[in-house]
Amino acid sequence: MWPFTAPYPGVSCKALASEYDYIIVGGGTAGCVLANRLSADPSVSVLLVERGRADDTWLSRVPLFSNPFSPWPPAFDTQVDDSGSQKEKEKLYTGNALGGTSRINAMLYTRGLAGEYDGWSGAGRKGWRYEELVPLFGRSERCVVKEAGEEAGRTGEWIVNDHGEPFFQHTAHLRNACEDLGFPYLSDINTSSTPAYGCAKTYFTITPDGTRHSTFHAFLPTSLADARRQRLHVCTGTIATKLQFARNAGGKPRVCGVVLRGAEGEGVGAGVGTQVGVKREVVLCSGPFGNPKLLQLSGIGPSKVLKPLGIPVIKDLPGVGAHLQDHTAGPLVYTVPLHDSLVGYERPLPFLIELLKYVFSGKGLLRCPVLDFTIFARSQCLDAQTSRLVTTPNLLT
C-alpha cells in the first residue's frame, strides 16, 4: 500500500515485433481484461497499446484521492454547441493510464437489471440474455462480501467489496426514510431477481486493505505481465493514429495493421509513424473519444465529414462519432452536521487523523469513494413488480 512499486514490465515500443495475432488499442477498463484473456493462450501473440503509463503511485490507489472529484483525472474541454443546446464548455473526464477510467471512477460495481439485458436479446442481440451473461460476470468477479448472493463470483480476478458499516452517520437515516416510503432494502443488488426500485449499500472494486482495485491491478498486474512478456507486449506512452487496410480477393477491405506514434515524445517517437501488422484482429478499446477518432482518421465514418478533410473514405458510416452521451447528475444539497460531511475533514487535525488511520489500518474516510448508499426508482419502461423490461416499439431505437 506504500508509494514505492516495482517498475512495470512493459516492452519498449522501439523494439516491437513486426506482426502480432491481436493488437488491442487502448489499455483501459476493457483493454486490460482482453489482454489478460487473449494472452492466456501461449500460442497467441498480443500487443496492447496505451497512450498513458502504468502510473501506479500511492495516491492513485487511495480511493478518496483518485476519484473523479479530485484534480488528478485528465479531461477534455467540449466545444459550445452552435444549436444553443450547450451554452458553456464542460469537462469530459477520461482515463490516461493502464486501467483507464477504472483508475478514476467511483468504483461502483453494479451489473444492472436483468430485464435490460433481456431487452437487448429480444431485439436481436444474440448472447445478451442475462442468464447467458451470469457465468461471465462470475468468471471475472472475486466477491468478498459474505452477504452476497449465490450468483456472485468468488474466484475471479476483480475484487468486489463493501464498506461494512457506512462511514457517514446520515446513511442510516436515508435507509430509514426509504423504507418508510416503501423502497425495499436490498442486501445484494447484483442478482437476477433485483427489482427495479429500492435502496442498498453499494459494492465497490476495492481491496480488503482499502485500495482501489482497477482492471489494471486485477487483470494486468506486474506479475502477469512479467510472466507473459514473451507473448504479451504492453506498450505505454503510445497512440494509434491510423488503421491500415488490405484488399481481399473480392476487393473488400480488411484491417491488416496499425500505425503508431509516441505520445508527448515517448514510445515510438513523437511524430514518427511505426507500422505494426496484425494476423487476426485489431480490437479498439480506446473509449467513446478515442475509438471514433481513430476510425474517422482511418477513413471509417461519415463521408461528409471525411471528404472535406482529405481523408479517403473506406466505409461511409454516418454513426461513427455521433450520438455521444454522458450520464449527468442533478445534485440535491442538504444541511448536515459538520462532522458528518466531507467539509469537516478539510480542517488539518481531522484530516491528519483520517490519514494516519488509513495508512496504518486501511480504513476511514480515505477508504471511502464518497458514495456508500444508493437509491433507485422504477422507470416507466420497467414492470412494477420485477426487473423485466416492458418493450415499446421505439425503446431500443
pLDDT band at 168 (very low <50, low <70, confident <90, very high): confident
Q: What is the pLDDT of residue 384?
A: 56
CA dist 280 and 20 (Å) reads 8
Q: What domains are defined for the chain?
A: 1-107+212-285 (3.50.50.60), 114-210 (no CATH)
Q: How many CA atoms lie within 13 A of 107 on its CB side?
A: 35
Please provide the DSSP assignment of 27-55 as one string. -SHHHHHHHHHHTTSTT--EEEE-SSB--
Residue 126 reports pLDDT greater than 90: yes
**What is the rounded average pLDDT of the residues 192-196?**
85
Q: Taking all residues of the chain, what is their mean pLDDT, rounded to a whole number?
A: 85
Strands 19-25 and 274-284: parallel
The answer to whether the CB of 371 falls within 8 A of the CB of 204 is no
Q: What is the mean pLDDT of residues 280-295?
A: 95
Q: Which pLDDT value is given to residue 84?
A: 60
% of the chain at pLDDT higher than 90? 52
* Predicted local distance difference test score (pLDDT) of residue 93: 78
pLDDT of residue 78 exceeding 70: yes
Instruction: Report the pLDDT value the prediction gives residue 85, as an integer from 0 to 100.
Output: 61
Local structure of 200: helix, strand or coil: strand
- Is pLDDT above 80 for 97? yes
Strand 253-262 and strand 238-247: the pairing is antiparallel
pLDDT given for residue 49 in this prediction: 95
pTM score: 0.88
| Residue-level pLDDT at 182 | 82
Other Cβ atoms less than 10 A from the Cβ of 281: the count is 12
Question: How far, in Å, CA of 266 to CA of 263, rounded?
Answer: 5
Rounded Cα distance between 236 and 361, Å, is: 33
CA atoms within 13 A on the CB side of 108: 15
> For 382-391, what is each residue's pLDDT tens digit?
555 555 545 5
pLDDT category at 397 given cuts 50, 70, 90 is: very low
